[in-house]
Amino acid sequence: MAHTSSPSRSRRLTAGLRSFAGLALTLGATFLGLLLVTFVIARVVPIDPVLSIVGERATTEQYNAVREALGLDQPLWRQFLIYVGDAVTGDLGTSLRTREPIAEEIARYFPATLELASIATIFGVLVGVPAGILAATRPGTWVDQLVRLVGLAGYSMPVFWLGLMGLLLFYGILGWVGGPGRLDAGFEMMFEFDVTRATGMILIDTALAGRWDMFANALSHIVLPAGVLGYYSMAYISRMTRSFMMNELSQEYITTARVKGMPEWRVIWIHALKNVMVPLITVIALSYANLLEGSVLTETVFAWPGLGLYITNALFAADMPAVLGGTIVVGAVFVGLNMFSDLLYRLVDPRAR
């Protein structure tokens, strides 16, 4: 037995290493392609980064000195190698608008988007998955029609309009939630001086600091924007869950399980849902990535200082290094979530191993 199990274990280990190496190469090639695209965009846009720094009244000597300092006098292939090396080490360049390192600015803005997108995705999953399953198990009934109607409305209504109506009703008229921004003005000043920014996410940092008054204020501010994004995420997830479950419930093994007398809840929530989890993980990961890339309209309506608002302001200011730096971060998020979802496949479905 020892002689037969050892080669089998060795083959599984070799197959696992090959699979991991293939995944790493795919992700590396994807990220390299992203860097190539952003590099080309930076070279073809009609914005001169040197002129943005030195100004229109600079002398030729000043212009050439800054151009040489930026490495723009080098051949394109060498510029690209320098660009890749800087991006891999976390150097995304310097903002033309603020003259600060872009990586540091994104590090300040991204936690706000991460906090908002995470809460919205959790809401979308907790509500959307059960709603999609209920609709799939009762096709044509009022439950199915209601879930489809709510999902269609959430998927069709403009996010900025929904946010504005939410602010008007729940903040302006009813006063149930906080207004734009992450905190009230008074708490904003206290947060800067009294709370250690361990994560950059206000709910976590204020809870760690024991500032529950500030935590409650931050929660009142995030409820509405997270609810708007969560509604959008829930609509997409519930729609896809319903489609996946209806297809799975029509399979022969489900009919066999029912004929054998297996309880309906076990057929649906264990057997069918288990086979639906693999495509559903992809849907949830893509939904989360879309929110993490920066929900520009939502962050603009709610004055939420996140990555989407940062990229938008940089674009309006013609700050292309900041725009491309944010684009690289967005691409890295997609690549990372794809890798994470692939690892989840292997845990959920043994066939993927």
β-partners of residue 94 are 101
pLDDT of residue 27: 76
Distance CA 222, CA 349 (A): 35
Angle at 341 between CA 205 and CA 280, to 5 degrees: 105
Query: Could you give all domains of the chain from N- to C-terminal order, each with its CATH number?
Result: 106-352 (1.10.3720.10)
Per the structure block, which two tokens stand in for 352?
């993927």
pLDDT of residue 350: 61
Distance CA 147, CA 131 (A): 7
pLDDT of residue 76: 80
Cβ proximity of 335 and 27 under 8 Å: yes
Instruction: Tell me the three-class secondary structure of the chain, residue by residue.
Output: CHHHHHHHHHHHHHHHHHHHHHHHHHHHHHHHHHHHHHHHHHHHCCCCHHHHHHCCCCCHHHHHHHHHHCCCCCCHHHHHHHHHHHHHCCCCCECCCCCCEHHHHHHHHHHHHHHHHHHHHHHHHHHHHHHHHHHHHCCCCHHHHHHHHHHHHHHHCCHHHHHHHHHHHHHHHCCCCCCCCCCCHHHHHHHHHHCCCCCCCHHHHHHHHCCHHHHHHHHHHHHHHHHHHHHHHHHHHHHHHHHHHHHHHCCHHHHHHHHCCCCHHHHHHHHHHHHHHHHHHHHHHHHHHHHHCCCHHHHHHCCCCCHHHHHHHHHHCCCHHHHHHHHHHHHHHHHHHHHHHHHHHHHHCHHHC
Q: Which residue type is seen at 160?
A: F
pLDDT of residue 185: 80
pLDDT of residue 349: 64
pLDDT averaged per 10 residues, the chain (length 353):
58 70 77 84 74 73 77 80 83 83 89 91 93 89 90 83 89 88 83 80 89 91 92 91 88 83 82 84 86 77 87 82 85 81 71 58
Phi and psi dihedrals of 306, rounded to 5?
-110, -170
pLDDT of residue 1: 47
